[in-house]
Amino acid sequence: MSAFPHRHLLGIEGLTPPEVTALLDRSESYVEQNRRADKKKSVLRGRTVINLFFEASTRTRTSFELAGKRLGGDVINMSVSTSAIRKGETVLDTAMTLNAMHPDVLVVRHPESGAVKLLSEKVNCCVINAGDGSHEHPTQALLDALTIRRRLGRLEGLEVAICGDIVHSRVARSNIHLLAIMGARVRLVAPHTLIPAEAERLGVEVFHDMHEGLKGCDIVMMLRLQTERMQGNFLPSIREYFHFFGLDYDKMANAKPEALIMHPGPMNRGVEIDSVVADDYSRSVIHEQVEMGVAVRMACLELLSANLVEAPQHNI
Amino acid sequence: MAFHIDPVAGRLAFTGARLLDPATGLDTIGDLLTDGEVIAGFGPGLFAEGVPEGAAVVDCAGLCLAPGLVDIRTQVREPGEEHKGTLASTGQAATAGGVTTMVCLPNTLPVIDDMSVVEFVARRARRVGLTKVYPYGAITQGLAGSKLAELGMLAEAGAVAFTDGVRAVADAQVMRQALNYARTFGLLLVEHPEEPSLAADGDMNAGEMATRLGLTGIPREAEVIMVERDLRLVELTGSRLHFGHISTGQSVDAIRRAKARGLPVTCDTAPPYFALNENAIGEYRTFAKLSPPLRSEADRLAIVEGLADGTIDAIASDHAPQDEDAKRLPFGQAAFGGVGLETLLPVSLELYHNGHLTLLEVLALLTHRPAHVFGLPAGRLAVGAAADLTLFDPDRAWQVREYELHSKSKNTPFDYRPVQGRVVLTVVDGRRVFALDP
């Protein structure tokens, strides 16, 4: 029985604690390897990984590319937003075209929620969701969990505040699910306009005041605020947002003294986070998150493609 | 004005007054003492041992001494349209009307959608030193109805509630987001309930009168459609909402039902809507061109009923100064609005004189009930509370004449109306700021 008995990694919701633990344990083993001069392994030799990005991305795509290459796989990047879609091809047509080239893993990002799932139903290979709309971004949640686990030794029982644009955030949703699965307690902190409807039903506690919401927490997870949300439809202005919801030392003082600051990046300094807080390396683990990202993606690529060998090839 | 305003607060001994405190139901003959800016004591026989030394005696001779009136809907016109009204002229009109606290609309030039304007109004009002002024902030930037204003920072600067003034927030999604956002900080939004597309180009209430006069009608449905929409949005968002100056029976019904269902909604009306109907327009009297328009007699009666059964939470002056140039025009071109600070009490007292409400009920609508909705520290007689008081004769008869008003603009829809009840003395923070010429 495989440690991760799934063909795809489309989301965190529905995973079990042992499955998450297996992914994190495997990731852990790659952290040290990535710090060595010789980073290369060969578990993916002969395998083809295609990064299929329907939405602009730098860090996630680079992270997956590095992960694939360090495991010895052949990695190809496709930015579809600049090619086929412009010519009118549908998501499924693009997927089928690539499928015909027999990739082993497709890493897919798409601006529409559910698009990666749709695509996964039509291809023979494994699919890793690298972010679909406002739905899920599972590898981000895993790398966040790994960062926390390495720093604090556990996830269970921790108080985690996820702050900012929850309503549009796939990072928030994946983290909510993962932290709940692993027994952490999650609070969401944002103005009402940035909290999705019936958010409490996801098993979280909702706050609308940073000072209240950060009180006694172990982890402060900030989210990126998209510029288009700042123009008056969700929020009046950047300065008002920063004043009430931007993370600064004053608000941070409510958290536990040793609490960690996280951000999935890219950051808007002076919008959701004060520069000095972001750069405070005694608290901020933002760069560590990026480092863990590569390790987590290596583990995901390895565990999923390991299943492929056992899975019978079926043709569509 | 022969009267001199007290430069500083001393001690005032009101003797032989009919003390009225609608919040507690107090209605008794007694005395009241102010010390500095606060009420030091009140009740029957307070001065049994004699009036404290050094206190200025105000012999009330049985006149009513009540908390100063709280007006939640005033247009001051400063900054920007000082030819129509200023904080000083509006303050004089307010104190002459017994109003000691007023909340002023944000439709100034510039609009109160920035902290600096809130602070400007507060600073100017302090310098004028008459009625206390609390500003509304705008719901949307520039009152344009599309982008949220900085509600949180405006509230920190001192805005007590938020409204787009004489405009409704027309876009349902913008209103939804405004309610949602306001709930983040527990703020109160105030809607001008009028669907703008139905009111466009309208001059007066739609109906026989408009037909005969050949004026464009604004159907009463323009109001209830917006009320009903907003009630749904309140239900969706869980946020508080107050409807300003409701004028139709349909709105009263809708709000009554919403309150029965437990929705966090409140509303006010203004004297024209329970004391006048569309017939006041007569032969194109532009002083009777109001927004919302004067409605039918059936609507007027429904408003009275809403006041009597508690559905309507407050009476506001809806003071809207317009200069002569804005009113001396063909009806269709004339500006909307009427001044109301100085007629607020006497016209409201008609509800008492006509037997619809008790005196305390009328005062409640003008004092602690609006103060409660807006969270203002006003509208009660209490030891240690600010000495904001109005002394009035509930029975004194007089005739409203526009040229006798203290307001800079004279556009009252009540010109020539015989009324009963007159403010004799107004006290703000223990200072006498208005006294009626004997």
The dihedral over CA atoms of B79, B84, B86, B91, expressed in degrees to the nearest 10, equals -140
Mean pLDDT computed over A114-132:
95
Q: What is the mean pLDDT of chain A?
A: 92
Task: Report the DSSP beta bridge partners of residue B35.
Answer: B11, B38
Q: pLDDT, tens digit, for every residue of B260-270?
A: 999 999 999 99
Q: pLDDT, tens digit, for every residue of B371-384?
A: 999 999 999 999 99
Distance of CA A81 to the CA centre of its chain: 21
Structure tokens at A170: 């796939």
Omega before B193 cis (within 30°)? no
Q: pLDDT, tens digit, for every residue of A279-288?
A: 999 999 999 9
Mean pLDDT computed over A164-168:
95
Q: What whole-number distance in Å separates Cα of residue B212 and Cα of residue B335?
A: 21
Q: Is the dihedral of CA A299, A302, A305, A310 positive or negative?
A: negative
Q: pLDDT, tens digit, for every residue of B333-343?
A: 999 999 999 99
Q: Give residue A83's pLDDT.
A: 57
Note whether A192 contacts B180, CB cutoff 8 Å: yes
Q: Give residue A310's pLDDT.
A: 47
Catalytic residue numbers of B?
Answer: 318
How many contacts does A have with B, using Cβ atoms within 8 A?
52
> What residue ranges in B105-167 does DSSP mark as E strands?
132-137, 161-163
Q: Give residue A81's pLDDT.
A: 66
CA distance A237 to chain B (A): 7
Q: What whole-number distance in Å separates Cα of residue B85 and Cα of residue B82?
A: 5
pLDDT at A1 over 80: no
DSSP string, B200-256: TT--EESSHHHHHHT--EE-THHHHHHHHHHHHHHHHH---EEE-S---HHHHHHHH
Report the DSSP pairing between strands B418-428 and B431-435.
antiparallel
Q: pLDDT, tens digit, for every residue of A11-68?
A: 999 999 999 999 999 999 999 999 999 988 899 999 999 999 998 888 999 999 999 9
Q: Is A193 on the interface with B (CB under 8 A)?
A: yes
Judging contacts by C-beta atoms under 8 Å, the chain B residues touching residue A231 are: 147
Band the pLDDT of A316: cuts 50, 70, 90.
very low
Judging contacts by C-beta atoms under 8 Å, the chain A residues touching residue B177 are: 193, 233-234
Q: What angle do CA B80, B82, B87 make, to 5 degrees?
A: 100
Note whether B153 contacts A239, CB cutoff 8 Å: yes
Q: Which tops the pLDDT comparison, A216 or B438?
A: A216
CA distance B134 to chain A (A): 21
**Contacts by residues B257-263 (CB-CB < 8 Å, ≥ 24 positions apart):** B258/B231, B258/B234, B259/B311, B263/B231, B263/B234, B263/B235
Residues in Cβ contact with B243 at an 8 Å cutoff, skipping those fewer than 6 apart: B190, B191, B193, B227, B230, B251, B255, B265, B266, B267, B268
Omega before B106 cis (within 30°)? no
Q: Residue A260: in which H helix or E strand, if any?
A: strand A260-262
pLDDT at A243 over 60: yes
Nearest residue in chain A measured CA to CA from B238: A192
Q: Give residue A92's pLDDT.
A: 87
Q: Give residue A86's pLDDT.
A: 63
Band the pLDDT of A93: cuts 50, 70, 90.
confident
The one-letter code for the residue type at B156 is E
Q: Which tops the pLDDT comparison, A2 or B352?
A: B352
pLDDT at B136 over 80: yes
pLDDT at A229 over 90: no
Band the pLDDT of B323: cuts 50, 70, 90.
very high
**Beta carbons within 10 angstroms of residue B163's beta carbon:** 27
Q: pLDDT, tens digit, for every residue of A291-308?
A: 999 999 999 999 999 887
Q: Is A211 on the interface with B (CB under 8 A)?
A: no
Domains of chain B with CATH codes: 67-374 (3.20.20.140)
Q: What is the mean pLDDT of chain B?
A: 96
pLDDT at A181 over 70: yes
Q: Is A198 on the interface with B (CB under 8 A)?
A: no
Q: Give residue A301's pLDDT.
A: 96
Q: What whole-number distance in Å separates Cα of residue A62 and Cα of residue A312?
A: 31
Q: Among A191, A193, A232, whose Cβ lies nearest the Cβ of B147?
A: A232
Give yes or no for a contact between B276 and B288, defined as CB atoms under 8 angstroms apart.
Answer: yes
Judging contacts by C-beta atoms under 8 Å, the chain A residues touching residue B184 are: 191-193, 208, 244
Rounded to two decimals, the ipTM of the complex is 0.87
Band the pLDDT of A315: cuts 50, 70, 90.
very low
Q: What whole-number distance in Å separates Cα of residue B261 and Cα of residue A130?
A: 46
Q: pLDDT, tens digit, for every residue of A58-92?
A: 899 999 999 999 999 999 998 876 555 666 778 88
